[in-house]
Amino acid sequence: MTHKDFIEIHDYSADEVREIFEIARDMKANREKYRDALKGKTLAMIFEKSSTRTRVSFEVGMFQMGGHALFLSSRDIQIGRGEPIYDSAKVLSRYVDGIMARTFAHKTVTELAEYASVPVINGLTDLSHPMQAMTDYFTAWEHLGDLKGRKLAYIGDGNNMAHSLMFGASKVGMNISIATPPSYAPDPMIIAQSQGDADYAGTKVTITTSIDEAVRDADVVETDVWASMGQEAEAKQRQKDFEGWMVDARVMSLAKKDAIFMHCLPAHRGEEVAGEVIDSPQSVIYDEAENRLHVQKAIMYVLMRK
């Protein structure tokens, strides 16, 4: 694998995604085998946005592979005080072996990758969330086996999760349907790029405003919060706009009988998902949460072991 960074799933081939999944599966089954895989390596973790799962999974992952993770909030580093990203990337590259960044602006991560000489991993931006989407498809692969020809339905805001799920679907051979309220559709640029990937892979991308159309015969049903971090001022309006968009038992009944439910967490029971769904046997949310550790370990191993 020749990639220096992991910014978007779109940048990786289907074979490369499968390779990461195979490594993640092996790591999950054979933790001791990789205990010195990144011995002596250090990962800088830049957090403009706080997170339970991202911080813990990356930090624990580095520890389990014999490395060290360094937490850097926007208060701890000069990026948050006006230092050019160019300088920060160059300086950090002299100290650490990899950089994970969880930021607001997508440009922050792409500029870090451009100027850093060490691998840069996109831990989340306002545009995309590739670590979570990779994890979700890995989790679906664990539960459903071969994903070719299967269908994932995403219900809710056309946000960074929707974008990364769209990029990932074609890489694993799945069809994807995105259902959003009329004014919350995904970014047109992402739709176009995802459609190009789907045309190449022979898969299908559907963008709709109908929950029923999206979920019918789905193998995976997924949703996300209606107001993401940084959108708190819009929360009241979004509550109105998303009225009737809860994934409940009726919605799940439209999917296949053995369909699984996913949510990247944190979740708001009674808003985007009913408690009867997220706490049901169909829900795999805790497997999903655990698998962030294994998938991210595999990605760090692929990028940082060189």
pLDDT of residue 80: 58
* pLDDT per position as a tens digit, 213-260: 999 999 999 999 998 766 677 888 999 999 999 999 999 999 999 999
- Please state, in angstroms and rounded to a whole number, the distance separating the CA atoms of residues 43 and 95: 10
Look at residue 2 and tell me if it is in a domain.
no
Q: Is 132 a catalytic residue?
A: yes
pLDDT of residue 236: 86
What separation, in Å, do the N-terminal and C-terminal C-alpha atoms of the chain show?
11
Residue of 10, 102, 163, 263 marked catalytic: 102
- Strand-pairing partners, residue 176, are 152, 205
Residue 248, helix vs strand vs coil? coil
* Whether the Cβ atoms of residue 156 and residue 185 lie closer than 8 Å to each other: no
Same domain, residue pair 93 and 140: no
pLDDT of residue 50: 85
pLDDT of residue 81: 67
Q: β-strands 260-263, 175-179: how paired? A: unpaired
Look at residue 4 and tell me if it is in a domain.
no
* pLDDT per position as a tens digit, 74-130: 777 777 567 899 999 999 999 999 999 999 999 999 999 999 999 999 999 999 999
Q: Is 264 a catalytic residue?
A: yes
Residue of 10, 106, 129, 238 marked catalytic: 129
* pLDDT per position as a tens digit, 26-79: 999 999 999 999 999 999 999 998 899 999 999 999 999 999 999 998 777 777
Residue of 219, 264, 294, 296 marked catalytic: 264
Residue of 132, 136, 150, 296 marked catalytic: 132
pTM of the predicted model, to two decimals? 0.96
Q: Is 224 a catalytic residue?
A: yes
Residue of 150, 238, 292, 294 marked catalytic: 292
* pLDDT per position as a tens digit, 272-287: 999 999 999 999 999 9
For residue 34, the enclosing domain spans 9-128+290-304
Same domain, residue pair 34 and 98: yes
Look at residue 31 and tell me if it is in a domain.
yes
Q: How many domains does the chain contain in total?
A: 2
As a whole-number percent, the residues of the chain with pLDDT over 70 amount to 98
Same domain, residue pair 112 and 146: no
CATH number, position 281: 3.40.50.1370
Residue of 10, 224, 294, 296 marked catalytic: 224
